[in-house]
Structures are given as C-alpha cells and as structure tokens.
Amino acid sequence: MSEPAKKVLIADDEADVRAFVQVALDGEGYTILEAANGEAAVAVTKAERPDLVILDVQMPGKSGFDVFDDLRRDDATKSIPVIMLTGIKERTGIGFTAKEMGQYYESEPEAFLDKPVDADTLRDTVARLLAQ
C-alpha cells in the first residue's frame, strides 16, 4: 500500500508565483493546495493540515509574518514546516533570515528563500523538509 501524497500549501497573493511554484513541484507527487491571502492560508492550513507551507511575506490583510506567528502559536499547526518565500529583499533591499525571524517570533521557519527563486533550489528545499 502506498503512502498518500504529501500536501504542500502555496500561500501567495500573486497568481503567477503560485503557478510557478506549482510547475516547479509538478511531477514530484505532491498534492498542491493554494491560498491567495493570509486569512485563507490560516484557514486552509487548519482545515487541510498540509505537510508543508510555502508562505509569502507581503500579502494583503494578514501578512506572511502574521500567518507564521498564528501557525506557530496553534498546537495543531505549530509543527508544520514553513518555507518563507519572499521578494522583500528584491523590493526593499532589506533581507531577512530564518534566524532573525526566530529572534522576533520565538520560532524559526525551516527555510527562508528570496524571490526570484531557482526552481531546483525550491524543489530541493521542499524535498529535504518533507523527508525529515
């Protein structure tokens, strides 16, 4: 009997980014879930319990930082690995790291990738985190 496909949530307000990530992960056997804003990301995570969340920082309404904080504070979702995938550095020149987030939120995301991200780097990061 084979294992069910791992579920990956892509939370980004830009449809083209969600499409890029989906194409990058196509063929890897994952079930892809999508959310176009922070509120939806929290709702989908709580309802679907994905095995991994790929989370944009800058979204309307609830930011990715707020979503990350919400997920880490909830016992039901706090152990779900999170990849922060953001264009903040490209837009503002200010970069963040997982370690810096951990100092502020008392928990670090499992990875922090800057947009534009290389498809191979994204695939490798997802595979590494899902193998743990």
Q: What is the mean pLDDT of residues 36-44?
A: 98
Question: Which domains, ranges and CATH numbers included, belong to the chain?
Answer: 1-90 (3.40.50.2300)
Interior CA angle at 98 toward 74 and 47, to 5°? 30
> Where residue 24 falls among pLDDT bands split at 50, 70, 90?
very high
pLDDT, tens digit, 9 for 90 and up, residues 98-127: 555 555 556 788 998 988 999 999 999 999
pLDDT, tens digit, 9 for 90 and up, residues 73-103: 999 999 999 999 986 645 545 555 555 555 5
Q: What is the pTM of this model?
A: 0.88
Residue by residue, DSSP assigns the chain as -PPPPPEEEEE-S-HHHHHHHHHHHTTS-PEEEEESSHHHHHHHHHHH--SEEEE-S--SSS-HHHHHHHHHHSTTTTTS-EEEEE-HHHHHS----HHHHHHHHSS--SEEEESSPPHHHHHHHHHHHHH-
Closest C-alpha to 7, from 67, 64, 48, 56:
48
